[in-house]
Structure 1
């Protein structure tokens, strides 16, 4: 099974997302977060991720005669390599992107189902921007975003902190010169 096949399954993608932000979760905590996934299905997909080395067991303890395991995400194993990503067919990219977007929709829907959600207070946003960049400028933008995000990705959970998920999609559009001078706006 390729990394893409493993990671882009809808349930496994949700499991991986639950661990983002350097979280350690037991299967019961994971079951609480993914309450709409039947337990046997959840355990089967957790086992696949453990077997593939994407999740690692960091603690075990006895609970009512059973062993409760605590897992963490191995980020290096939860990545689709650049070579594999580049080799995917158009249909594989469509399927992967649909899984990605469906996961975002599900996560946003669960946020909206919370009592008292407040998008302004909670700093929730979504937007779209169009910009004219050559390949070097696009690479520079990626490096700058990485430089800004990297230190924050290392933040541990702490009082006052909220786990936030930032999703990015960069699409390459039409080539050419803007008829009216270029520039883009951010829509929200």
Structure 2
């Protein structure tokens, strides 16, 4: 299965999100984190991701006579690279965006369904705005955001840290872009 077909799937994308925090997780852990997904689906998609090398077994241990695998995410295998993105058709981009948004919506609903969810106290934010940018300014903005995120992306889980899902979306908002003029 190619990278696009592998990652552009709502359940597999949510598993990648859940594994992105740097810690290892068992399939049972993932089932608990994705309570709206049938356990059989989680197990099946963990197998697909492991077979493709996106997840790797960090360790195994015996639990009540069964072998429990602890998986870790291989970040370099869990992304659609620039070469694949450049080869995607417009319909591929449409499908990938829809799956990504569906996964973000499912994660947000999962957050809201937690006991004690408090978007104000948790500083939940979702905003949309238009920025007028030249291509060089857009590049500068994206590079600046990458730099800021790079400073915290390798943070280890600690008792005083909680995971936050960050989604950045950039696309021209008007009818004309420099490429269509």
Q: Does TM, scored on the shorter chain, surpass 0.5?
A: yes
Give the alignment's TM-score, normalised by structure 2: 0.93
Shift of 1:40: 2.1
Give the corresponding residue for 1:104.
104
Give the corresponding residue for 2:33.
33
**Alignment map for 1:140-179 (pairs within 5 Å):** 140-174=140-174, 175=176
Shift of 1:39: 2.1
Shift of 1:173: 2.7
**Alignment map for 1:1-188 (pairs within 5 Å):** 1-174=1-174, 175=176
**Which runs of no fewer than 5 residues in structure 2 stay unpaired?**
none
Shift of 1:8: 1.2
> Is the Cα contact below 8 Å between 2:22 and 2:72 reproduced in 1?
yes
> Is the Cα contact below 8 Å between 2:22 and 2:156 reproduced in 1?
yes
| CA deviation vs aligned residue, 1:109-159 (integer Å, no higher than 9, x gap) | 111111221112111110012111111111011110011010111100001
Distance in 2, matches of 1:112 and 1:55, equals 28
Distance in 2, matches of 1:172 and 1:21, equals 30
Query: Equivalent residue of 1:62, what SS?
Result: strand
Distance in 1, matches of 2:158 and 2:75, equals 20
Answer with 1 or 2: which has the greater Rg.
1
What's the RMSD between the two structures over aligned residues? 1.2
Give the corresponding residue for 1:185.
none
Give the alignment's TM-score, normalised by structure 1: 0.90
How many residues were matched structurally?
176
